[in-house]
Amino acid sequence: MREKKVVIEVGDGAAIPDPNDKGLFTAWRISFFGTLAIMAFLVINRPDPYLDILKYLPDGILITFKVTFASIALALVLGLIAGLGRISKNKFFNLAASTYIEVVRGIPLLVQLFYIYFALGHIVRVPDLVAAIIAMGFCYGAYMGEVFRAGINSIDDGQSEASLSLGFNRSQTMRYVILPQAWRTILPPVGNEFIALLKDTSLVSILAVSDILRRGREFASESFLYFETYTMIALVYLLITLILSKLLSNIENRLGHYERR
């Protein structure tokens, strides 16, 4: 009654497990242990080529994580700015943020990657990895902007009125009262975006960045074992996203503490 309950649904990440689901057989467990079992089976029964593929991937996994973490950090900063812009009373700031979101969301990620990569190349010479991170962060910042906006809007107006009535100005109100509460609404979709971004980083393999997928492609093109290589790559991605979704679920669970009676 007193609080607007908004669940932000952004459905392009892996499903985050429900912490209240205590059943022995959950989709997450079946997927996780199934993935582990299949990987173990393949590696043990046919170390050549599966173990060789697996040994070839760690460098790529590291790069994938580097790109993911750096991109999400950039996307969170851009998203916060864009989200605040979208709710700002300042017409210029508002319009700039809205336009950024509109434009980015209207162009396919892969096209944006190419575009920013080559556009950057015209202006400054940056390493491929950095160009990829800027492109991914720029794109996901727009999606994140909408998440922040929705999260901030989900907080009851009474909260900011109470804060203003005590003498806080608008930015102090945002910092001390609104954002700390909005964070809980924002975290699940941000987690989703994080996982979605991790998967989308596979696109940067096209830009000469040696992530998991590119490492795999290199292995496959030398060994001609395309099926085996991509099987292993799919399993590795799946394992990573499953672990991440479990981690996020635990964090979400812990963050909800002051809502519990």
Partner 1 sequence: MNAVNPIISIQNVNKFFGTFQALSDVSLTVEAGQKVVVIGPSGSGKSTLLRTINQLEEISSGAIVVDGRDLGDPKNDINRVREEVGMVFQNFNLFRHKTVLENLTLAPIKLKKEPKLQADKRAMELLDKVGLVDKAGSYPVQLSGGQEQRVAIARALAMNPKIMLFDEPTSALDPEMIGEVLEVMVTLAREGMTMVVVTHEMGFAREVADSVVFMDEGKIVEIAPPNQFFDHPQHERTQKFLEQIL
* Sites of contact with partner 1 (CB under 8 A): 2-3, 156, 158-159, 161-169, 172, 176-177, 180-181, 258-261
C-alpha 195/C-alpha 200 separation (Å) is: 9
CB of 259 to partner 1, least distance (A): 6
* Nearest CB to partner 1, comparing residues 159 and 223: 159
C-alpha 67/C-alpha 108 separation (Å) is: 19
CB of 5 to partner 1, least distance (A): 12
* Nearest CB to partner 1, comparing residues 162 and 234: 162
- Token couple for 3: 């609080």
Query: Residue 60 class from Cβ within 10 Å (0-12 exposed, 13-18 middle, 19+ buried)?
Result: buried
C-alpha 87/C-alpha 154 separation (Å) is: 12
* Nearest CB to partner 1, comparing residues 112 and 185: 185
Contact criterion met (CB below 8 Å) for 62 and 251: no
* Nearest CB to partner 1, comparing residues 3 and 222: 3
C-alpha 75/C-alpha 86 separation (Å) is: 16
Rounded to a whole number of angstroms, the distance between the first and last alpha carbons of the chain is 16
* Nearest CB to partner 1, comparing residues 26 and 172: 172
CB of 156 to partner 1, least distance (A): 7
CB of 127 to partner 1, least distance (A): 41
CB of 184 to partner 1, least distance (A): 8
Q: Is 167 left (phi over 0), alpha (psi -120 to 50) or beta?
A: left
